[in-house]
Structure 1
Amino acid sequence: MNIEIVRPQDLTPEDIARWADLQALDLSFENPFLSPYWAQAVERAQSPGKYGFKVAILREGGRAVGFLPARTGALTALPVGAPFCDYQAVVCEPGLDFDPVEIIRALGVHRFDFTSLLASQEPMARFGKDATETRLVDLPNGYAAYEAEQKSRGAKIFKRLGTSRRNAERNFGPLRFTAMSPSVEILDQLIAMKSGQLKETGKSDIFGPQWSNSMVHDLFRSEIPDFGACLFTLHVGDELAAIHLHLRNRRVLSGWLITHFEKFQSFSPGVILFQEILRWMETVGLTRLDLGAGDYQFKRAFANATQGVVSGSIGVPSPVTWMREAAYGAATIAEALPLGRFSHYPARARRRLDVIRSLH
């Protein structure tokens, strides 16, 4: 197997088509964060800059059999678009046998740190340190069949949403759902609200760097068929109640940025908007809504499937790799000690530093 390294912008039309074909072989690979167009959008937003953007193309007999994009520095690599990137994987032929360490060598770094790598990809996932699940809504037979099946399993969310809708309309006016809104003004409002929420909770403002705003707007303007950022809104009467921005690929819509207005919080406008989006999806050929990680009640209620992901790092033998291993080891020891809430501090500190590294 040969490994060729190219920039995302230098991918040939044939390579992009091959990448898309490999995605189509596995619905897990069809997530938009694993698309070549995602890598290209991120590179446009962050260029020129101090980091490199590379795609490792795995070839057998000259034929592309796998793709892995990364943002590279002098010593380490991160997922393209981190901390916005919800999934990582080598998009490849089913059952492909490859050596992840050789890919890292080819990228010209000592270590690749990943945050949400598909656990089903064993060659990469065996380097994972922490595991979690993302929640999915699969609609192979459309929304009506999905809702009926969920109700048969005892899901109460649909009855609650019916009550919330009636209360909202009685108190504020009729509900109005808009899919694929072209409003840049509403998009900017969403970004400002998310930025404010992050600052208020003491988290890193992922919209602070200019590149993140440029990337989101670039994805929103995308004219690539079946790829880009989709803006959804829910109005109550004449007032805006909830805003969602999700990323789509051919069959998968991936939940991304969501917010709602406190005035309407009592009737869960953001959750109602998710339901409207699920109904809309079958009209445009989308069969999966990826709700992402996070143990939220509405995600548990909507989801009818899960998908494992792992975080960790892959590296060549070097001090840079050993330092990361030591950091994971310290976190494991701390979590095993009877330190109460302090036992999670080392892992939280590492994750926060990873976000800061990704943004700057």
Structure 2
Amino acid sequence: MKYSVITAAELTATDLQTWRQLQQTTPTLKSPYFCPEFTVAAAAVRNDVRVAVLEEGGTAVGFFPFQRGPLGKGRPVGGALSDYHGAIVAPETAWCVEALLRACGLAYWEFDHLVAEQLPFERYHSRWEVSPALDLSQGFAAYRDRRRAAGAGRFFQLERKARKLAREVGPLRFVAHTRDSAVLDQVFQWKSEQCRRTGVVDFFAHDWARALVQQIWQTENCQFAGQLSALYAGDQLVATHMGMRSASVWHWWFPGYERKFAKYSPGGILLRKVAEEAAAQGLQQLDLGKGDDAYKNSFADCANPIAEGFAWRPSLGHSVRSLASSAEDTLRETSFIEPARPLLRLAKRWLRRQRFA
């Protein structure tokens, strides 16, 4: 196997065709994150995006998009905004993680949403989770019937709340995809407010993150598109969602809603509308992303396995990373370090911010 590294701009038409074919014919790679358009959009707003090309006999057989940082640190394309990552390669293709990292100039590659079924990465897993999703392969009516049979009462309460919202605020109007930039600005505002309110890092405090979402919003073809959805009650915008879709999967990404209408669950009503629209478009799945939020449990009837960890090869960069990780574990488990816990929390918050740098 030969490994070479190029920029996204150097991908040829043949490379893109091969990439799309691999992505569309491999079930675990159906997410829009694995479409070449996602990597191209990220490369347009960041200068650290690269693509490793896996070749056999002079022919490309796989691709590995990544971001390269100092000391050989590797991250998925899109960093903390990436809900899925891995190599775009057929399952039967044999390849070596260590050789791949060496060719990429990476000491290690961190992952937290890796497709768990990619066997070459298996030895590097440290934790396993799932990404809950809606199976829409038989249409929305069949999905709804399965939710009823499962006793998902919260899901069906949304029908009553939607009627109440329409009666008390105004007729509901759902827009599956809007080109109104004001709606996208509202997504940014509501999400930033939520992050500050809940004490997590604000995604959109970083210019590149906003620019990436804007790039995706402006991209549309039959294989990949940004999806900016809106729910109105009368003339009031009550909920929004910025996501994206591949040829078969719609990914739930950045939802938001007007808090004064919280009692009506406008976000849940919008999610239900999006699910109906996704099924009407013939998409097979609506992926909700990793997390144990209550609404995800109400909606999901299937899940995709993902893994956390970091792949590495012997190097100075890997040694530094391992020492830092060991020190963090020691501090967490040592009772004598209690006076230093505030400093540890500050350090951890700083590290979380670096994920978005």
Give the TM-score normalised by structure 2. 0.92
| Aligned counterpart, 2:63 | 67
Structure 1 SS opposite 2:54: strand
| Aligned counterpart, 2:259 | 262
Moved more, 118-127 or 80-89: 118-127
Offset from partner CA, 1:110-131 (integer Å, 9 cap, x none):
1211221111112113212232
* Alpha-carbon shift at residue 353 of structure 1 (Å): 4.6
| Aligned counterpart, 2:172 | 175
Offset from partner CA, 1:191-239 (integer Å, 9 cap, x none):
1221222233332222122222221111111133331221111111221
Offset from partner CA, 1:143-177 (integer Å, 9 cap, x none):
00111122112222332112212221232122111
Matched, 1:122 2:119: yes
* Alpha-carbon shift at residue 18 of structure 1 (Å): 0.8
* Alpha-carbon shift at residue 40 of structure 1 (Å): 0.8
Q: 1:143 aligns with which of 140, 147, 152?
A: 140
* Alpha-carbon shift at residue 243 of structure 1 (Å): 0.4
Query: Given the superposition, is the C-alpha separation of residues 315 and 10 from structure 1 closer, same or farther in structure 2, using an over 3 Å criterion?
Result: same
| Aligned counterpart, 2:3 | 3
Query: Given the superposition, is the C-alpha separation of residues 185 and 9 from structure 1 closer, same or farther in structure 2, using an over 3 Å criterion?
Result: same
* Alpha-carbon shift at residue 326 of structure 1 (Å): 3.5
Matching residue's letter, 2:64: L
Query: Given the superposition, is the C-alpha separation of residues 157 and 254 from structure 1 closer, same or farther in structure 2, using an over 3 Å criterion?
Result: same
Structure 2 SS opposite 1:96: coil
Work out the CA distance in 2 between the residues paired with 1:121 and 1:332: 27
Query: Given the superposition, is the C-alpha separation of residues 345 and 318 from structure 1 closer, same or farther in structure 2, using an over 3 Å criterion?
Result: farther
CA RMSD in angstroms comes to 2.5
Matching residue's letter, 1:68: F
Matched, 1:252 2:220: no
* Alpha-carbon shift at residue 58 of structure 1 (Å): 1.1
Matching residue's letter, 2:61: V
Matched, 1:108 2:105: yes
Moved more, 324-333 or 209-218: 324-333
Report if the CA contact (8 A) 2:219-2:226 is conserved: yes
| Aligned counterpart, 1:41 | 41
Work out the CA distance in 2 between the residues paired with 1:103 and 1:148: 46
* Alpha-carbon shift at residue 180 of structure 1 (Å): 0.7
Matching residue's letter, 1:310: A
Report if the CA contact (8 A) 2:101-2:108 is conserved: yes
Matched, 1:57 2:53: yes
Report if the CA contact (8 A) 2:139-2:280 is conserved: no
Runs of 5+ in structure 2 lacking a partner?
Answer: none
Q: How does 1:162-311 map to 2 (within 5 A)?
A: 162-311=159-308
Query: Given the superposition, is the C-alpha separation of residues 338 and 265 from structure 1 closer, same or farther in structure 2, using an over 3 Å criterion?
Result: farther
Query: Given the superposition, is the C-alpha separation of residues 326 and 133 from structure 1 closer, same or farther in structure 2, using an over 3 Å criterion?
Result: farther
Work out the CA distance in 2 between the residues paired with 1:348 and 1:60: 47
* Alpha-carbon shift at residue 55 of structure 1 (Å): 0.7
Structure 1 SS opposite 2:321: helix
Query: Given the superposition, is the C-alpha separation of residues 333 and 217 from structure 1 closer, same or farther in structure 2, using an over 3 Å criterion?
Result: same
Q: 2:82 aligns with which of 85, 90, 94?
A: 85
Query: Given the superposition, is the C-alpha separation of residues 58 and 148 from structure 1 closer, same or farther in structure 2, using an over 3 Å criterion?
Result: same
* Alpha-carbon shift at residue 310 of structure 1 (Å): 1.6
Aligned residues with identical type, % of pairs: 30
| Aligned counterpart, 1:357 | 354
Matching residue's letter, 1:93: A
Matching residue's letter, 2:263: S
Matching residue's letter, 2:254: L
Q: How many residues align?
A: 355
Runs of 5+ in structure 1 lacking a partner?
Answer: none
Report if the CA contact (8 A) 2:155-2:298 is conserved: no
Matched, 1:27 2:12: no
Give the TM-score normalised by structure 1. 0.91
Moved more, 287-296 or 23-32: 23-32
Query: Given the superposition, is the C-alpha separation of residues 236 and 85 from structure 1 closer, same or farther in structure 2, using an over 3 Å criterion?
Result: same
Query: Given the superposition, is the C-alpha separation of residues 162 and 200 from structure 1 closer, same or farther in structure 2, using an over 3 Å criterion?
Result: closer
Work out the CA distance in 1 between the residues paired with 2:155 and 2:73: 46
Work out the CA distance in 2 between the residues paired with 1:297 and 1:22: 34
Report if the CA contact (8 A) 1:331-1:346 is conserved: no
Structure 1 SS opposite 2:43: helix
Structure 2 SS opposite 1:177: strand
Matching residue's letter, 2:162: R
